[in-house]
A and B are shown apart, each in its own frame.
Chain A
Amino acid sequence: AQSVAQPEDQVNVAEGNPLTVKCTYSVSGNPYLFWYVQYPNRGLQFLLKYITGDNLVKGSYGFEAEFNKSQTSFHLKKPSALVSDSALYFCAVRDPGDQTGANNLFFGTGTRLTVIP
């Protein structure tokens, strides 16, 4: 069974500083990993995903994430935070080896990012 953990409910960062939102996962095989962002009263917006290949994945709005197999992590990063980045961020995992047929995204509990002006 797959699972994903976001150890921080809340992350605060000053505008212009680098930000990191943490995510660790557990799957039986090689994971497919996704990051989504949810703004207030909006749906989830896709940021980036890791399927295979380069461990550093670049996505929308200047975000990137690094897949680390040994640490089973997929942390979301941005070099310089903007106030407009303030939102709820979700990490999700999909296990391509899952034989149950569920074959769906398992989401973490979310991390609320607040960028302070």
Chain B
Amino acid sequence: DAKTTQPPSMDCAEGRAANLPCNHSTISGNEYVYWYRQIHSQGPQYIIHGLKNNETNEMASLIITEDRKSSTLILPHATLRDTAVYYCIVRAYSGNTPLVFGKGTRLSVIA
């Protein structure tokens, strides 16, 4: 079973920041938080991952709480093309272990 809890759906106005929360209260010390997204009928796309420090790349920012029990993915300026299902996944960083997907959050960006 997935080790994360996410809201089933969220809306965001185009051009505004989209903040997607994730709860992972049982995360272990060697587990990272990964975010993927899946646009309709496509394969999932990697967004970002982190251990305990905040991370930023060209797509998004990842904010992890100090106790590591929750995190937030931030899309700074959402566009219509960001409409997708977003998956938060907790995974150990070694041995090429498979990903365990929950149902994710369906983000709808509205014009």
A and B form one complex: no
Q: Residues of A with Cβ closer than 8 Å to B?
A: none
